[in-house]
Amino acid sequence: MMLKKSVLISFFAFLFLVFNLSAQVATIDVAKVKQVIDGFGACTAWHVQFTTAEADAAFKNEKSEQLGLSILRVRIAPTSSEWPGWADEKANAQKAKARGATILASPWSPPATLKTNNNIIGGELKTESYAAYANHLKSFCTYLGNVDVVSIQNEPNIEVGYESCNWTPTQLLNFCKNYASAIGKPIMAPEAFNFDKNFSDPILNDLIANTQVQYIGGHLYGATAYNYINAITKGKKVWMTEKYFNPDDISTCITMAKEITDCMYNNMNAYVWWYLRQPGCNLIEAGGKLKKKGCTMGQFSKFVRPGYSRIEATYQPISGVYMVAFKGKDHNVVVVVNQNKNNVSQSFSFKNDTVFSVKKYVTSESKNINDEGTLTCVGNSFTNNLEAQSITTFVTSKIPTTNHSLKDSEIRIFPNPASQFLQFSSIEGLTSFRIFNIHGQPLISKTNPETATIDISGLNSGIYVIRIRQEGKDKTFQLIKK
């Protein structure tokens, strides 16, 4: 009886070990595609003009000290001369646009003359001023000349002591329904302080207003990211358009990175930080030097580009580790946040893709988007050490980094380049081979080949990858088809 009990305990202990080991593998399924990513950005409200060096640091993506931001949020001042005036935001928008950014324009208040209290602080937009307000927003867009998205109102649902305007959900609905089309640009609403659906659901549920609004925007002050099904099922892009954390230490940056991860995981299309350059909660310093929070944003913005799509991935493979993954045209990106105050060994596995290696970049207490080199994948999998309190970005490669130098006992391929036929030096111990294009798609495959000659005449000219299995080991070659 004791022996049986001992065997049962050992069996359940084995099952527990197997379960925990399998639970620790983070799986990325490239075939399961989610939302399209519009980008990552920041705001220049009350900034005055930024310099060329600052624009390069924020919106270019050619060097390690550049963030590659792809969205700029500008302020629509109540009047063209209200400090800092429209001219400053136009200059900022031109610099950002020239570096590939999308421009989002947000108003904090209509002109005072259009409001119930004749003041740019508080009050409401007069009902009889709705048409004039739509024309005001249109005039700003015409002046800038490059606005891509226009918001109706910044944070309509809170009363504050600075530039602002109060709206009810019904007022916002009526404006969008009857006047938004006159602005002549894609519309965003409601940019609520706490991403309050009570301000956006009425718009989404109204047959007319729904057609006038293309973007649902919101802020995450006092709220957490959620999957906004009503907006998504009605074809709207969902943007998180304002949030900040202070100070600039690694613990704060980990909180920030976790929130960006959660926004992406919950099917949002964009994440926009508050101040770009202003002191206190900024991403860059005056002159263009990246802050730690800027590097945190860069772990996403430099590698996950507009037009990429999120793909299914294990959200929390182990306690304190969170992950989100993306699919690009030529490579895929995995961003991992380790909240733990200790290093963690993590295994990763790609499904429905062929990945030979990943490039690793890290931001931690001592590192800022550091290039950590290339890691080799075996069977589309790899295991790596995540630093304590770090954000790690892995960028995949579907082409071997080098041609393998093989021993005399190992199989060689020739000729290379080849035009019609490819030859193995031997098929001894060769159990299978596969030929992939540079996108990782298998084109030719064979198990237990009986001949050393492969007909490749059907392949187009270009670069291919051959993976063979010889005596239980995988080897890869690069092939040039003439």
Number of H helices, E strands in the chain: 10, 24
Distances in Å between the Cα of 327 and the Cα atoms of 29, 114, 313, 377, 381 are 10, 46, 11, 18, 17
Give the count of beta carbons closer than 10 Å to the beta carbon of residue 118.
11
Cβ contacts of 165 within 8 Å, gap of 6 or more: 107, 108, 109, 110, 115, 122, 123, 124, 125, 153, 156
**CA 370, CA 363: separation in Å to the nearest integer?**
6
Tokens of 420: 């019609």
Q: Pick the catalytic residue: 89, 242, 259, 387? A: 242
List % helix, strand, coil for the chain (3-state, nearest 5). 25, 35, 45
191 is catalytic: no
**CA 461, CA 456: separation in Å to the nearest integer?**
10
For residue 283, give the nearest of 43, 24, 25 by alpha carbon. Answer: 43
- The DSSP-derived string for 425-451 is S--TTEEEEEEE-TTS-EEEEEES-S-
Q: Pick the catalytic residue: 54, 89, 155, 191? A: 155
Residue 312 near residue 287 (C-beta atoms within 8 A): no
Helices 86-98 and 52-59 cross at an angle (nearest 10°) of: 50
312 is catalytic: no
**CA 461, CA 481: separation in Å to the nearest integer?**
5
Q: Which amino acid is at 258?
A: K
Residue 41 near residue 69 (C-beta atoms within 8 A): yes
Q: Which residues are catalytic?
A: 155, 242
